[in-house]
Amino acid sequence: MAFHLSDDPVESARAAFAGSAGVAPAGIAFAPGRVNLVGEHTDYNDGFVLPMAIEEGIAAAFGPNDEAVLRVHACDIGETREVPIAALQGDRVHASGWFRYVAGMAWTMNASGMPVVGTTMTLAANLPSGAGLSSSAALELAAGRALAGAAGLDWDPRRMSRIAQRAEQEFAGVACGIMDQMAVACARAGGALLLDCRSLATADVLLPADVRVVIVNSGVRRSLATSAYNERRAACERAVAAVRTFAPEVRALRDVDERALEQARGAIDDEAYRRASHVIAENRRPARFAAALEHGDPAEAGRVMLESHASLRDLYEVSCPELDLLVALSMEQKGCYGARLTGAGFGGCAIALVDEKGVGSFARDVASAYAARTHIDPQVIVSRPSAGTRLLDM
Ligand code: GLA
């Protein structure tokens, strides 16, 4: 399947809409991708995460139609799919590939009391898919924003992130947490979001002007990532069940510390024990990272990232040789404070926290060293923390 990312997704989506519908779109929605600075595999344990939205994302030009269909053209793939609005009610709609995220979002909005109307939409992206940058959450929320815009519905980012999470769980089969959808829906320009995944309370964490987050795509995709992800979640639940036998007030690993885990050690299998050990320590890292930045200590923030990576590699076992290599190569560069895999793992991207002055040489040198070792030319993205899902001025 031909797949081209747009240089300017907003213009691509706008032009494609005008070209096919013969009129200008009623509006254009944009949903960003995200990286997570630290706090990985903690969200579905009711824990803490620290994601930031990036500048790259998905644009959706939209307008209502009077044919009572949802018709969506994906410019980057050159494919148009449609479904009658009537089929988006009652039994779960059947859709496949990229369209299941859009139809799934529409179905879930209907099921949540947000009735969608006949809508024509053109999508264009400058966000790679399958790279661990939450292209699926971006697609759900870009489509959701467009559907809400076409139907004249109110937009509440927190509520929409819940709806998008449900769409992802039910239509993509990933038992995901709330991090990606919250980051994509609610992020603020200039900083990351320290998010409590139990209460959904957020605090803005500013990124100092002299450090940059550099994203390097390993180019590796794991085929069994969905089942491996769901297995990780199940292992965490086994650990919680064991702790609950003597501490019934515990609801999630968020409520468990090392002492409680040791107390339950005899009732926990080795795999669940390793997974829980990761989650318990990882849960403290977002606040440590945020405090380090606040105290002007990026070196400490970098150490927190390295600890997180080691734990994801050794205890949670979601890294891979290519991501470990990217982290090692990053740490050989001058001005790099820390690096780690970001997102679910099993391939995808690594991020590095880099002194702004050294970003150019960092990107060049890591990319060429990685290519020399793996024969994969990695995509490097240097992105500023950007705002969450929004309607653009027309
Ligand atoms: C994926 C999921 C998130 C989160 C991360 C791991 O991105 O969608 O909910 O669990 O993995 O931190």
CB contact burial 2-30 (16+ within 10 A = b; e otherwise): eeebbeebbebbbbbbeeebeeebbbbbb
How many Å lie between the centroid of ligand 1 and the Cα of residue 192? 16
**Of ligand 1's atoms, which has the minimum distance to the CA of residue 134?**
7
Pairing of strands 27-36, 390-391: antiparallel
Rounded Cα gap, residues 287 and 282, in angstroms: 10
| pLDDT (tens digit per residue) in 253-270 | 999 999 999 999 999 999
- Note the Cα 277 to chain centre separation in Å: 23
Amino acid at 208: P
What is the number of the ligand 1 atom nearest to the C-alpha of 42?
Answer: 12
Confidence of residue 85 (pLDDT cuts 50, 70, 90): very high
How many angstroms separate the alpha carbon of residue 384 from the centre of ligand 1?
21
Residues 356-373: pLDDT tens digits?
A: 999 999 999 999 999 999
Rounded (10°) CA dihedral 285, 33, 31, 73: -150
Global pTM value: 0.96
Nearest Cα to 330, choosing from 197, 181, 213, 235? 213
Instruction: Please tell me the distance between residue 228's alpha carbon and the centre of ligand 1 in angstroms.
Output: 12
- Predicted confidence at residue 1, as pLDDT, reads 32
CB 261 within 8 A of CB 268: yes
What residues contact residue 65 under an 8 Å CB cut-off, 6+ apart? 71, 118, 119, 120
Distance CA(379)–CA(376), nearest Å, equals 9
Instruction: Please work out whether the CB of residue 180 comes within 6 Å of at least one atom of ligand 1.
Output: yes
Which pLDDT band holds residue 130 (cuts at 50, 70, 90)? confident
Contact yes or no for 28/10 (Cβ under 8 A):
yes
Mean pLDDT value of segment 299-306? 98
